[in-house]
Amino acid sequence: MEQKLKTLIVEDQRLGIDLLRGCLDDRFEVCASVQTMADGWKAFRKHDPDAAILDIELPDGSGLDLATRMLEASQKVKILGVSAKTDEYTLYRIFVTGFFGFVDKNTESIDELRTAISHLAEGNCYYSAVVQQNNLLQRSDPKAFSQLLSEREQELMCHFGVGSSNETIAEKLNLRPVSVQNHRARIMKKLGVHSTVELIQYAIKIGFVHLTEFREAKQ
């Protein structure tokens, strides 16, 4: 008898967990279902799962960051992302991080979710149309953020986008304030923006920062 895939579900809504469980067939065995990033990491370390079905938006952090930690710790785990968060930066990170697939909650049906899960069981990738379209954009558009900004600059955009000062960012990233200022100037030149306001607007538009994060940072 074929061994079942030990599967971890990380989804912030109880209803979402029940929905995902209901879509799994007899090739899967759920080892844990949790609702936060912190509990997801604890469950991952405890159970060493073969597969994970992971929401991108979690109450205490990003599912993208959790996926990165999982993939750095395990060579076997296969991750399926499920989210309504489909901005350019999120979709780009889903692909480059090494997810086995992604289902868009906005546009895809339960049948498509089952198809993605079946692909996961077979060891095949499944990416929704929105991911494929974004991949094409990132490769073909010379003005796409991934063509203009290095990985380090993309990381800094997540801080610039909430309006953090050079000094605050320098302390968080163990850099000198003048280095952060130089990065800021180079990024603004690359993007063709001329003020901090325009830089923040670009960061929100692309998805480096979400409007709620910006508002929380200003409180």
Q: Tens digits of per-residue pLDDT, 76-111?
A: 999 999 999 999 999 999 999 999 999 999 999 999
Average pLDDT of the segment spanning 37-54: 98
List the chain domain ranges: 5-138, 149-218
Cα within 13 Å of Cα(141), Cβ side: 11
pLDDT band at 212 (very low <50, low <70, confident <90, very high): low
- pLDDT at residue 211, as a whole number: 62
Question: What is the pTM (predicted TM-score) of this model?
Answer: 0.89
Cα angle 53, 121, 93; round to 5:
45
Report residue 103 as tokens: 């289902």
- pLDDT at residue 218, as a whole number: 57
Distances (CA, A) of 214 to 22, 180, 200: 36, 19, 9
| Whole-number CA gyration radius for the chain | 19
CATH of domain 5-138: 3.40.50.2300
- pLDDT at residue 112, as a whole number: 95
* 203-215 residues labelled b (16+ CB within 10 A) or e (exposed): bbebbbbbeeebe
- Name residue 138's amino acid: Q
> Can you give the three-state secondary structure of the chain, one letter per residue?
CCCCEEEEEECCCHHHHHHHHHHCCCCEEEEEEECCHHHHHHHHHHHCCCEEEEECEECCEEHHHHHHHHHHHCCCCEEEEEECCCCHHHHHHHHHHCCCEEEECCCCCHHHHHHHHHHHHHCCCEECHHHHHHHHHHHHCCCCHHHHCCHHHHHHHHHHCCCCCHHHHHHHHCCCHHHHHHHHHHHHHHHCCCCHHHHHHHHHHHCCCCHHHHHHHHC
Domain 149-218, CATH class in plain words = mainly alpha
Q: What region does 206 belong to: left with phi over 0, alpha with psi -120 to 50, or beta?
A: alpha
Q: How far apart are CA 206 and CA 29, in angstroms?
A: 37
Answer yes or no: is pLDDT of 204 > 60.
Answer: yes
Q: How far is CA 160 from the centre of its chain?
A: 19
Q: Tens digits of per-residue pLDDT, 6-32?
A: 999 999 999 999 999 999 999 999 999
